[in-house]
Structure 1
């Protein structure tokens, strides 16, 4: 029986496998083994043969048996421990010595996130490369800027893409910065003192985490402190925000009255509507936008779950079975989807040019600038251009004729007015910015290990 759409509709199999129960249990067993080895190294427990436990890493944990035990114990980690002991014929007498459930659960989660990080950084690299291609190709392609949904000063399509690329560069930097804080585990027992392991507790904690390729929690209660999880999920929410921002822009620019870009549409087979056969809807971008909202919503329960009674209670447990896996799986999914959308995006340069040239007032900023440079005060220049603009709106006349009948006609020749009214020549530093963002991205990606 399938209830959650994440089971068969959303998420890539390779990423979903990181959060499957079988892999989670494998990570938990790795934690138990690493701690046992650290305890033997520091003479907390006597030397023992851990091969029967290590064999289970290959064979896997008997999940049906574990579920049977959990029905009796009402405790999933105790069921895990007893299952491991049964499968290993009780060969190791110090399993889970000095530990508590969340030593194992939280450190296993850190191992899962460590594996997910590889996919996440590759996802970002892929989308950055897709955006770089568009920035480079269209850095000179002039188009209308739009503010408040209205025509504004000209930009280039490359610059629009460069703003998104720059955002993803910052997301990459954030993830690199917080990686050490996120990939953190602990082996310090039920209240964070390590008391059962005596004076070597801190060494056991350090050695076990280092052997797993993790940082270790220093001062905490029973849990790895949840400010770490909150920070991570909020960064993923931030990434989802950028994804939705791009998806929203594509959807708007695909509207027939604008039609400056369009998602790839497989004309041979794809259906846009069950009732209107002609439709070519931006469904992939809409899907990205929809899932982005779900991703961001998981930050709220994670923040709430970070607040527990004293050294720990169970109010974080159930919600984190959703927040961490779902946020990671869906973030990876929309990043991959958006990268394909961008890579295969149809860019209608002809319509960008036509829309720009059919909106003469988009150069009102330049008109104000030229008046000011001619010696008229900036505020007075602004008012003169505003008055000309209102006359243009109220008439069906030619903007250049209206300009020549205004103060412009006394200060500029007709050819000068024509030149300053050309929106194709008023894209400022767009091309230079595009080149700088591409260079920034290449340096950033080159420095990732």
Structure 2
């Protein structure tokens, strides 16, 4: 991931020293697991642990240098580790294992840790949304469908629905964590031909990973599920970001992103205050969805394995982890600094001459005995005139001989439109942070 969108927390999960450190721990635990059943001498396993190299940048460089000879990263890693531990103990490193035993177990370990960070970020974002929804529960605004004024709602209701979706994403991340928190040490084609299942269980217990049946590799539908959870996070964040972008348009101006001292919105136009965070989130969500497509294509491998997935995963798994984490963090910052403009929201609601109450008027006429089609015609006729001529909708209705004025007070009562919002907020209150 380019530095612009990387974070220290995810860097710590996906860095080369972290990756080789995981490989090393898998190798050492496998050696100790073999020692526990008498295959590897106990003293040799102890020497391997004691003399194991530290996985730092210098260790990484030694592996890279060796890979120039082997043209195989796991073989280069094993050669480097064995050389540093030295024979005879070092010869027990990688005993009975194949490359995917080490690489896939370590990769699942990394994805599990990435999930933990993503779940933590989703919870923080959820807390912000829940608080904002409660603060603005009664902040009245116009609801829009197709970009056109529809009926009144509140900003808090809008945010509450966002929170419910983020909570669903958090559950998807939890399910993805369960799917990827697995491992395999079952050998070249997954038959345990050269490694006992007890060694796999020993390593799995130590790492907190569940042993699963596999070919030479862990099935890639698990990785695709992880990528889907990341892409879903991105799409949810984009859904909010797109709405916030619309609400920041000059003609609407119901919210604004925060603007810190010294910030510049444009290199050319000093007045500009652009929705840059929301736009960035929208853009990065596209990358997340693209990565999901690549991950789905990684599921179909030849026979018991090939490496067509490997080069793809070196890019998309770290990058999707980083981007999903980044967009949630970026959106939380956006929301924490968001300027909400209730007066502008109310002014926009009133700007359509009262047309937002057309459905209550329609229903009142039906209750009064009109057929629905006749009631629709009466309301639509007055609504179109109000819109075309810039006239007050209620005044026109009061002048219409086919309308009973007595029904209009209730139909135009804003409290009636918002009376049942408690149904939505009850679901919000049921979220367990």
TM over 0.5: yes
Residues 17-416 of structure 1: matches in 2 within 5 Å?
A: 17-55=12-50, 59-60=54-55, 62-90=59-87, 91-197=89-195, 201-218=196-213, 220-266=214-260, 268-359=261-352, 360-406=354-400, 409=403, 411-413=404-406, 416=407
Give the secondary-structure state (helix, strand or coil) at the position aligned to 1:145: strand
CA distance in 1, matches of 2:90, 2:80: 13
| 1:52/1:88 contact within 8 Å kept | yes
Give the secondary-structure state (helix, strand or coil) at the position aligned to 1:195: coil
| 1:113/1:183 contact within 8 Å kept | yes
More deviation in 327-336 or 116-125? 116-125
Indicate the residue corresponding to 1:427 in structure 2: 418
Deviation at 1:190, TM superposition (A): 1.1
Give the secondary-structure state (helix, strand or coil) at the position aligned to 2:141: strand
More deviation in 357-366 or 378-387? 378-387
More deviation in 59-68 or 104-113? 59-68
CA distance in 2, matches of 1:28, 1:433: 48
Give the secondary-structure state (helix, strand or coil) at the position aligned to 2:224: helix
Deviation at 1:382, TM superposition (A): 2.8
CA distance in 2, matches of 1:56, 1:168: 46
Deviation at 1:407, TM superposition (A): 5.4
| 2:179/2:225 contact within 8 Å kept | no
CA distance in 2, matches of 1:322, 1:17: 16
| 1:34/1:212 contact within 8 Å kept | no
Deviation at 1:119, TM superposition (A): 1.3
Deviation at 1:419, TM superposition (A): 4.3
CA distance in 2, matches of 1:88, 1:362: 77
Give the secondary-structure state (helix, strand or coil) at the position aligned to 1:93: helix
Question: CA, structure 1 residues 153+417, in 2 after alignment: closer, same or farther (shift >3 Å)?
Answer: same
More deviation in 257-266 or 61-70? 61-70
Deviation at 1:195, TM superposition (A): 0.3
Question: CA, structure 1 residues 43+287, in 2 after alignment: closer, same or farther (shift >3 Å)?
Answer: same
CA distance in 1, matches of 2:27, 2:11: 23
Deviation at 1:58, TM superposition (A): 6.8
Deviation at 1:175, TM superposition (A): 2.1
CA distance in 1, matches of 2:51, 2:282: 42
Q: Deviations over 1:184-203 (max 9, x none)?
A: 11001110101012xxx222
CA distance in 2, matches of 1:226, 1:123: 25
| 1:357/1:423 contact within 8 Å kept | no
Question: CA, structure 1 residues 391+18, in 2 after alignment: closer, same or farther (shift >3 Å)?
Answer: same
Indicate the residue corresponding to 2:430 in structure 1: 440
TM-score of the aligned structures, taking structure 1 as reference length: 0.91
Give the secondary-structure state (helix, strand or coil) at the position aligned to 1:60: coil
CA distance in 1, matches of 2:175, 2:296: 21
Indicate the residue corresponding to 1:3 in structure 2: none
Task: Give the gaps of 5 or more residues in structure 2.
Answer: none
TM-score of the aligned structures, taking structure 2 as reference length: 0.94
CA distance in 2, matches of 1:379, 1:50: 85
Count of residue correspondences: 429
Deviation at 1:56, TM superposition (A): 6.0
